[in-house]
Structure 1
Amino acid sequence: MLPAELAQKYEVRGTLGAGAMGTVLDAVDRIIERRVAIKVVKMPAANDPEGKEAHARFRREAQAAGRLSHANIVGVYDYGENAETAWIVMELVEGGSLKDRLDRQERFTVQDVARLMEQVLSALAYSHGRGVVHRDIKPGNIMLSSQGPDASVKIADFGIARLENSSMTQVGTLIGTPSYMAPEQFRGEPVDARADIWAAGVMLYQLLTGEKPFEGGFSAVMHKALNTEPPPPSELSVTVPRAFDAVIARALAKRPDERFASADAFAQAIRQALTAPSGAAPSAPLPLMMPDSDATLVATGGGAGTMGGLSGVGLPGLPGLDGTAATGTTASRPAFPPATEPKPAKPEGKRGAPLGLIFGGAGGLAAIAAAAWFFVLQPPPGPTPEELVRQAELARQAELVRQQEAQRIAAEAARQAELARQQEAQRQAEAARQEAERQAELTRLAEIARQQRLTEQEQARQQALFRQQEEARQAEAARQADAARQAAEAARQAELALQTAEAARLAELARQQEIARQQQDAARQAELARQHEAARQAELARQQEAARHAELARQAEVARQQEAARQAAELARQQEAERQRQAELERQRQLALVRPDFRSAAAAAVAAASCGLLTWTASDQSLSIAGVARRGEDAAIRRELTARNVPEDSARLALQLFDGPYCGTLDVFRPVLALGDSAPRVSVLGTMPLAKGQFVRLDVQMPDWPAYIHLAYFMNTGEAAQLVPSPLVPSTLQQPSARLRLGEPRGNFPGWEVDEPFGTDLAIVIASDRPLLASVTRPANERPEEYLAAIATAIRNNLRAGGRVIARPVVVETVRGR
């Protein structure tokens, strides 16, 4: 559970994982409603040095991640500790880890690999710029924001990170995950940002090929990382562009100075390899192999072990909680070409073993032999059995180092011979290339001469064609000149015709003007006659208007007398109404002197609702009625309370009204209806009505006994759905008084999204001490009568067997939009 310091601010939703040291909780910030993950560990005992070291790593994780704020790094919001526990409050990432994707054998394209690595290297460049070296980059610590193909990266678990100016990790400490550890980490040397470059290169190799470059047990991985080179990625997968071979070779260089100088430079090299002409990215995804489980090792003094606690398990948004190390063996692989141009081969007869390496290796073996002689042949006086065992182990390790050094020398000699062979092959290939270029140049010159001959022929043909076109143009000009002369003659004839037509038009216009003058004289005579008639009609209208005014005055007097009579009658009616109101007030005052029976009034009001599922509580002073009822039944309830003299301020009605065919449905659940405020208590999250695109989410308080939960949903379209249990939302036995959130989208469950048809729906939450219906036997949607018959039979059988069943209804209103 949460420490007392966090219980007020955070609400725990569930447990994401647990280990030997502590627990990771799924929680929500009550104030800002932000989901978080809280990692809680036990404080170590005073006499537990390993526990103290683990606690120091836990605190260092908070310090390292807390000083970083980047889109591709899991955010840390808070850290604290008390006498019993320590905790980190961090960002919750729900998409799982990259290792989970690899374990499920998911497929990635080269473009997706480049996009993921771009985000990882961006986060590393940011952390390196602020003095933080992660030291444990691996797929298990690369979290994904979602399950989709476009999920973004979040780097997690800075528990073994090295902070700038920190001395917590000393020289000689072996720390990290073997398959992803750089050579300097195996040697226990101080590490810097280039160790993260190496680990990122291992991860890029694994994403491109489906295999790790160095596999096997701890000793095998260490030997290969120190002495061998993996095959080029393009040899393991034909879909990998060859340009990535040089990128991998530089990222996995044995010497830190030969690797990429920064994460940004690494990312730039990936982008260039992706767009290289000879390395076009394939359109088909790459097949991936199932990777081994990798755990982070923390060991000092020549030993190695696993770091327990909260690292190693992929949980939604968090590093894992197990501690298994990768095992297995693999054969040595040939080295792939270096990232730079090979040096010229030595002259024949002067090629030999690399003396510097031999003498250097011999010197190293001599130092190891001297150390073995000192600890084995010259032990201090009186060694204890433990010291003898430790000395024998040192001798065994010295012999192992000697064998590894001999193998490395032999491998280096073989590599030099192979390099000389490759250089000779390159020389011969260069000579063949030059000869091919010479032949190609001769062919090109011959082609140029042929093209010149063709050009001369084409020019002659063009000149002949031009002469033909010029003759045709001149003929066309003569034809157009003749056509223009004919057009001018036609225009002259048309002009003469227009002049004749204009003279005729002017004569017609003079005739029409004479006709118009005669018509105007006639119209003037008619207008004088009309004005005379209008004056006569106006006089007649004046006389009629005077008669109308006299009639209106008479009608106004009659209306005034009628209004006076109406006002007198209205005054009498108001006086009678006031008298009746006073009488009613007196009657109510008299009724108020008699105390109503609140219990019988509540029972009668509930019975008055013919379609509803209601419960009531009452005391000597008030009553309360709650539940669901058909719209309009609330008026019947209020009428019954008024008839029984229940004051309005003494009755509390908490009714959810619906419009729909739910009366028969409510009758089925009436025998098991939860009474009053008893559990299960159900409320709809969000503001009603819910709009399209929102989710139907229910907050449920379970009863105080272990129970299974069932959720039946009845729609106004006449369909019924069993939402819980279902294949995506199984029904499990819940603890007494458990608080549940139904309908929250999480993982593979998409939630219950509001969509057509809209209106008033009815949800029934049922709690029982045993499962009622098997989810696999019921369809997603069915007719209500079929579901009700099955659930009624299951409820009766459970009650007859002495079981317990209670139900609580809730109304859900939906609309298209608000």
Structure 2
Amino acid sequence: MGAQVLLADRYQLQELLGHGAMGEVWRAADEVLGRLVAVKLVRAEETTDTERFRMEAQTAGRLNHPNVVSVYDFGSHHDQLYLVMELVDGWSLAQERSMRGVLDPQEAVSIAAQMAAGLSTAHRQGVIHRDIKPANVMISTERTVKITDFGIARFTDDASSTLTATGKILGTADYLAPERALGRPALPASDVYSLGCVLYELLTGRPPFRGATSLAVVQQHVDAAATPPAQLRPEIPEPLSEYVLQLLAKDPGRRPATEHAADWLNTQQWTPPPAENDAAFIPAPPIPSSPPSPPADTRMSHSRPRDRRRLASKAALGGAAVALFAGAAVIGASLNSGDDSPSPPASPTPATVRSVPAGEAPTSPPTTASPTTAIPSPAPPSPETRGDDEDRKGKGKHGKGSGD
């Protein structure tokens, strides 16, 4: 499709920002309202149910929150469905993580708190994201966090299963909740688990689980306990390390709700350690947050030993379920269909990764000369169970098309 196309007699397509399995994302000018937008042209084979697409787009359009990329419009152009979304001046969290390594705990908490706030609004509207990962999180030039792809993952997923008709898992292996790995329906708590995986990665420089294949990673999500973040990076405050493990609870019912996560994270404030005590880590300036007064949480009263005993008792059953699930996935499609998230660091010691402060220009800073939605980092891909990311061939480091 050429750059001079006028979509629906309103949206002038200007520049291709990226394309992937789901379709193409374009920078466009809304000639009616006189503003720049992002337009996603969805491949016909991905949206065979036009009515469902319409309902999902309407649902996503109701999510009015500063931490969610807005959906403005949707329709059909020459039998091709499209979504019109907010164009963000910034880059993806995947790019930020790739360039900076680990983040200062206070900054990582600020990002996770904004993500939790956006997810909380979506969950109150009955919308589950299903694919929370750094590549689907935008950071504006003003350091505002915005979650992309609301509604997209929903209408490409079946409400009763995590498998497509061909056996593909919908989601990314590094951030996939255990219940989804077992083929169960996605829940709001599934997004909470993925949020915990993202926060874990921001703090330690690696996802909670790593393996040679996507299936190996998925298996660990089901039956392995994550190493406490504070053990991988001692400067991480112990209360934060413990809370991350709560977000990663195997039982969805034992994870805090997104509203609680947003409140708890917003009340945390720690003083970064002196730079001379950690030559490998240069802390970023603390992000302003509310006064530290963590609310009481009766849902967090369960003891960790009890969790471990319950985990051990379910290990055999979980392994069998994943084995059955893996069979379907292997028959349907390869689990290694690509990912736009940065690959985990080669070193198993995340503390040796240098962090670049928010105010310091990284070696290859994201360009922000023009507003775009963030595309992910050009770093080598990590295993993913579906290949629908728009940023594979995105323009430079400007950002990704919202809503992939």
Q: Which residue of 2 aligns with 1:38?
A: 39
1:94 CA drift (Å): 2.3
SS at match of 1:170: coil
Q: Which residue of 2 aligns with 1:74?
A: 69
1:52 CA drift (Å): 4.5
Cα distance per residue 1:751-803 (max 9 Å; x no partner): xxxxxxxxxxxxxxxxxxxxxxxxxxxxxxxxxxxxxxxxxxxxxxxxxxxxx
Q: Give the aligned residue type for 1:119.
A: Q
The structure with the largest alpha-carbon Rg is 1
1:60 CA drift (Å): 6.5
Q: Which residue of 1 aligns with 2:241?
A: 245
Which one scores higher on RCO, CA 8 angstroms, separation ≥ 6? 2
Tell me if structure 1 keeps the 8 A contact 2:162–2:183: yes
Q: Which residue of 1 aligns with 2:296?
A: none
1:159 CA drift (Å): 4.7
For residues 224 and 93 of structure 2, the distance between their equivalents in structure 1, rounded to whole angstroms, comes to 27
2:370 corresponds to 1:746: yes
With over 3 angstroms needed to count, the CA separation of the structure-2 counterparts of 1:223 and 1:38, relative to structure 1, is same
1:239 CA drift (Å): 2.0
Tell me if structure 2 keeps the 8 A contact 1:121–1:264: yes
Q: Which residue of 2 aligns with 1:158?
A: 150
For residues 230 and 356 of structure 1, the distance between their equivalents in structure 2, rounded to whole angstroms, comes to 12
With over 3 angstroms needed to count, the CA separation of the structure-2 counterparts of 1:229 and 1:32, relative to structure 1, is same
Q: Which residue of 1 aligns with 2:27?
A: 26
For residues 311 and 302 of structure 2, the distance between their equivalents in structure 1, rounded to whole angstroms, comes to 22
Q: Which residue of 2 aligns with 1:95?
A: 90
Counterpart mapping for 1:342-741 below 5 A: none
SS at match of 2:32: coil
Q: Which residue of 1 aligns with 2:104?
A: 109
With over 3 angstroms needed to count, the CA separation of the structure-2 counterparts of 1:212 and 1:58, relative to structure 1, is farther
Tell me if structure 1 keeps the 8 A contact 2:3–2:15: no
The runs of 4+ residues in structure 1 deviating greater than 6 Å are 2-5, 54-58, 354-358, 360-365
What number of residue pairs does the alignment pair up? Answer: 303
Counterpart mapping for 1:47-446 below 5 A: 51-52=46-47, 62-105=57-100, 108-146=103-141, 150-159=142-151, 161-162=153-154, 168-171=158-161, 173=163, 174-216=169-211, 217-260=213-256, 262-272=257-267, 274-275=268-269, 280-282=271-273, 340-341=302-303
1:267 CA drift (Å): 2.3
For residues 287 and 60 of structure 1, the distance between their equivalents in structure 2, rounded to whole angstroms, comes to 47
Q: Give the aligned residue type for 2:370.
A: R
For residues 136 and 355 of structure 1, the distance between their equivalents in structure 2, rounded to whole angstroms, comes to 27
Cα distance per residue 1:510-559 (max 9 Å; x no partner): xxxxxxxxxxxxxxxxxxxxxxxxxxxxxxxxxxxxxxxxxxxxxxxxxx
1:2 CA drift (Å): 7.2
Cα distance per residue 1:160-194 (max 9 Å; x no partner): 5448xx99422363421111111100011122110
1:153 CA drift (Å): 0.8
With over 3 angstroms needed to count, the CA separation of the structure-2 counterparts of 1:257 and 1:87, relative to structure 1, is same
For residues 6 and 266 of structure 1, the distance between their equivalents in structure 2, rounded to whole angstroms, comes to 41
For residues 40 and 356 of structure 1, the distance between their equivalents in structure 2, rounded to whole angstroms, comes to 43
1:144 CA drift (Å): 1.4
Q: State the Cα RMSD in Å.
A: 3.9
1:80 CA drift (Å): 0.5
SS at match of 2:38: strand
Q: Which residue of 1 aligns with 2:15?
A: 14
Alignment TM-score, normalising by the size of structure 1: 0.33
1:82 CA drift (Å): 3.9
SS at match of 1:191: coil
Cα distance per residue 1:371-400 (max 9 Å; x no partner): 99xxxxxxxxxxxxxxxxxxxx68x99xxx
Gap regions ≥5 residues in structure 1: 45-50, 289-337, 345-353, 373-392, 398-743, 749-818
For residues 18 and 190 of structure 2, the distance between their equivalents in structure 1, rounded to whole angstroms, comes to 30
Cα distance per residue 1:337-361 (max 9 Å; x no partner): x9755679xxxxxxxxx79966x77
Tell me if structure 1 keeps the 8 A contact 2:102–2:203: no
With over 3 angstroms needed to count, the CA separation of the structure-2 counterparts of 1:126 and 1:5, relative to structure 1, is same
1:107 CA drift (Å): 5.4
Q: Give the aligned residue type for 1:171.
A: S
For residues 63 and 12 of structure 1, the distance between their equivalents in structure 2, rounded to whole angstroms, comes to 23
Cα distance per residue 1:137-173 (max 9 Å; x no partner): 1100001122xxx41011101255448xx99422363
1:235 CA drift (Å): 1.2
Tell me if structure 1 keeps the 8 A contact 2:28–2:38: yes
SS at match of 1:132: coil
In percent, how many aligned pairs have the same letter? 34
For residues 356 and 186 of structure 1, the distance between their equivalents in structure 2, rounded to whole angstroms, comes to 15
For residues 226 and 199 of structure 1, the distance between their equivalents in structure 2, rounded to whole angstroms, comes to 13
With over 3 angstroms needed to count, the CA separation of the structure-2 counterparts of 1:221 and 1:283, relative to structure 1, is same
Tell me if structure 2 keeps the 8 A contact 1:27–1:37: yes
Q: Which residue of 2 aligns with 1:424?
A: none
Cα distance per residue 1:1-48 (max 9 Å; x no partner): 47977364233332212335532211122233211111123434xxxx
1:270 CA drift (Å): 2.5
Tell me if structure 2 keeps the 8 A contact 1:12–1:27: yes
For residues 36 and 154 of structure 1, the distance between their equivalents in structure 2, rounded to whole angstroms, comes to 15
1:241 CA drift (Å): 1.0
Gap regions ≥5 residues in structure 2: 164-168, 283-299, 332-367, 373-404
For residues 60 and 2 of structure 1, the distance between their equivalents in structure 2, rounded to whole angstroms, comes to 29
